[in-house]
Amino acid sequence: MSYPEYEDDVLKTLSLQFNIGRTSEDNRPTPARLSETLRRAIDIGGEVDVLKRAVFYGSPYTDPSKEPLPQMELKAGPDAGSAFPTADMIHSAMGIFTEAAEFLAAVYESCFQGQSFDATNAIEELGDLEWYMAVMRRRLRVSQEQVQRTNIAKLKTRYPGRFASADALNRDLDQERAVLESSGE
């Protein structure tokens, strides 16, 4: 699948709706609720970034929480003696989360704080997301093209023609899983 074909299929499955209510009685999220939730997501992304830097880059770490946490052991992963997830998978997952939060912050600042959208920063964040996804794809031994093909196959199952809200809200997860499993072969 060529990238232009992938983009064409992406646009067919993209929702262009923006359902915002003026008050909480509209049965839709208000701009204030959207802003608050996105701000929390950005903040959590920052917290995960601090942890990622401490765990994977050796950055000094001071736990900001005053609450004692229960003792926990890793159930899977490099320090638990299991093959998966590997340290690079954990690093990649945390990196995807933190870079997505940084991208979200750029959009948020433009939408809710009136700052001009910084396309240069947005492109840099997309590049960082691509880097972390490449690490994960390498570990899973799958190509970017295979991931894209599989994703589009799933979306074509969900949206037989174009995006439709009814299809998004009434998904056949078993059918989608079957497509995902057969696409990976």
- The predicted-structure confidence for 157-166, as pLDDT tens digits, reads as follows 999 989 999 9
Distance CA 174, CA 185 (A): 17
Does 12 fall in a domain? no
Q: Is 83 helix (H, G, I), strand (E, B) or coil?
A: coil
Q: Looking at residue 40, what is its pLDDT?
A: 95
Does 44 fall in a domain? yes
94 touches 51 (CB < 8 A): yes
- Say which range, 7-11, 52-56, 164-168, has the weakest mean pLDDT: 7-11
Residues 133 and 146 in one domain: no
Question: What does the pLDDT average to over 71-75?
Answer: 77
Residues 120 and 53 in one domain: yes
Q: pTM (2 decimals)? A: 0.83
Q: For residue 182, give its domain range.
A: 142-185
Q: Looking at residue 147, what is its pLDDT?
A: 94
81 touches 24 (CB < 8 A): no
- Residue pLDDT, tens place only, 89-145: 889 999 999 999 999 999 999 999 999 999 999 999 999 999 999 999 998 889 999
Q: How confident is the model at residue 86 (pLDDT cuts 50, 70, 90)?
A: confident
Q: How confident is the model at residue 82 (pLDDT cuts 50, 70, 90)?
A: low
Residues 181 and 122 in one domain: no
Does 6 fall in a domain? no
Residues 99 and 160 in one domain: no
| Domain count for the chain | 2
Mean pLDDT of the chain: 89
